[in-house]
């Protein structure tokens, strides 16, 4: 299956791009893309698209994300994560101040992205400029923190007061949210500073990490695991071990077993309402013949809805074959006519 959706559990220590090598080998394809980068120090779910399915990237990228993150308090690094250099220190926050700060940073917020990020400033990556010593400030952007809850805390008690040394936080956030920046802001609001020593993405919309190829190789996400891992992330033996794990027969077979096509339920959740292609028009659709409403069981109804709603943006629909529910591609409606977005012939 050259065009497919693959849920992949990225291990910590390598880039998201590198983690795709196993998918390319297992599925014998060069056209592979993922729907949201994970930092090298992080692990967790990558939703990988291959072949013509890569056309779905913007629809899946727009979905909410769920993360588990371990925050270490008392030191802030330039990258806001474990591989960076310490640039600021502060006392540990009290338990009460930390819990209050978590509640404060919920809902619709303006977030200042990390300077060590892939965002561009005057045509250059912010991270590249930061490494060259440029003093840059990125504009705050609106993001949404739908939910944040504390799963665990490592406390230090002094004179009867509980201070937080490390905390495990689970957050559900919108597209474009940086968990590193969220940890920074929570720590500062609690009267301290902090950085991430562990990060795991556990969900992208309806896609869940536990269904991903390689999930069974990930250790439980705990404060103890993050502390043990932080000192080996950049060691050459560790990185080689991680790379070797991508190409074991079991890893490659796991990818093959989890390569699937788009189904109607997933299409709806990606903002792509299904439309049913009649069997008699399957060949015409595959050959790019001009689409008429009669191609689809719901063709007339969709055009009636388009005329009544007069949407500003052309609506897009996921096409499924009448008898097998095979995913056939995407169409849009522009000026009251159906137009091809892409045809999935696999």
Query: What's the rounded Cα separation, in Å, for the pair 115 and 125?
Result: 9
Q: What is the dihedral of CA 49, 270, 301, 332, to 10 degrees?
A: -50
Report residue 170 as tokens: 């689970």
Backbone angles phi, psi at 106, to 5 degrees: -130, 160
39 is catalytic: yes
154, 164 in Cβ contact below 8 A? Answer: yes
Provide Rg for the chain, Cα atoms.
Answer: 23
Q: Which residue is it, tokens 């292609």?
A: 277
95 three-state secondary structure: helix
Helices 179-189 and 95-104: crossing angle in degrees, nearest 10, is 130
Q: Given the DSSP bridges, would you call strands 194-204 and 65-73 parallel, antiparallel or unpaired?
A: antiparallel
Catalytic residue among 39, 128, 162, 244: 39
Environment class of 287 (CB within 10 Å of its CB; exposed 0-12, middle 13-18, buried 19+):
exposed
Environment class of 18 (CB within 10 Å of its CB; exposed 0-12, middle 13-18, buried 19+):
middle
SS (H, E, C) 282-342: HHHHHCCCCCCHHHECCHHHHHHHHHHHCCCCCCEEEEEECCCCCEEEEEEEECCEEEEEE
Annotated catalytic residues are 39
């Amino acid at each position: 299956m050259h065009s497919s959706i693959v849920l992949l559990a990225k291990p910590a220590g390598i880039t998201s791009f590198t983690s795709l090598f196993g998918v390319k080998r297992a599925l014998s394809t060069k056209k592979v893309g993922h729907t949201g980068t994970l930092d090298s120090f992080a692990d967790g779910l990558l939703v990988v698209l291959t072949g013509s399915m890569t056309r779905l990237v913007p629809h899946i990228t727009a979905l909410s994300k769920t993360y588990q993150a371990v925050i270490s308090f008392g030191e802030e690094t330039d990258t806001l994560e474990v591989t960076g250099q310490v640039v600021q220190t502060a006392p540990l926050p009290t338990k009460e101040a930390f819990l209050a700060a978590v509640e404060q940073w919920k809902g619709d917020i303006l977030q200042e992205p990390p300077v060590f990020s892939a965002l561009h400033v005057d045509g250059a990556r912010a991270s590249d400029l930061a490494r060259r010593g440029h003093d840059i400030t990125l504009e705050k952007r609106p993001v949404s923190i739908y939910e944040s809850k504390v799963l665990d805390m490592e406390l230090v008690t002094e004179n009867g007061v509980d201070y937080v040394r490390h905390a495990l936080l689970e957050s559900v956030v919108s597209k474009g949210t940086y968990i590193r920046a969220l940890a920074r802001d929570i720590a500062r609001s609690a009267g301290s500073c902090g950085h991430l020593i562990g990060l795991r993405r556990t969900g992208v919309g309806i896609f869940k990490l536990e269904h991903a190829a390689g999930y069974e190789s990930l250790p439980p996400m705990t404060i103890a695991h993050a502390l043990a891992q932080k000192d080996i992330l950049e060691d050459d033996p560790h990185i080689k071990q991680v790379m070797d794990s991508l190409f074991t027969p079991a890893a490659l077979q796991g990818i093959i077993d989890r390569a699937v096509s788009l189904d109607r339920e997933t299409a709806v959740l990606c903002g792509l309402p299904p439309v049913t292609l009649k069997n008699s028009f399957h060949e015409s659709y595959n050959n790019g013949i001009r689409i008429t409403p009669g191609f689809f069981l719901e063709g007339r109804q969709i055009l009636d809805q388009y005329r009544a709603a007069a949407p500003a943006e052309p609506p897009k629909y996921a096409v499924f074959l009448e008898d097998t529910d095979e995913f056939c591609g995407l169409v849009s409606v522009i000026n009251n006519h159906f137009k091809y977005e892409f045809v999935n012939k696999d």
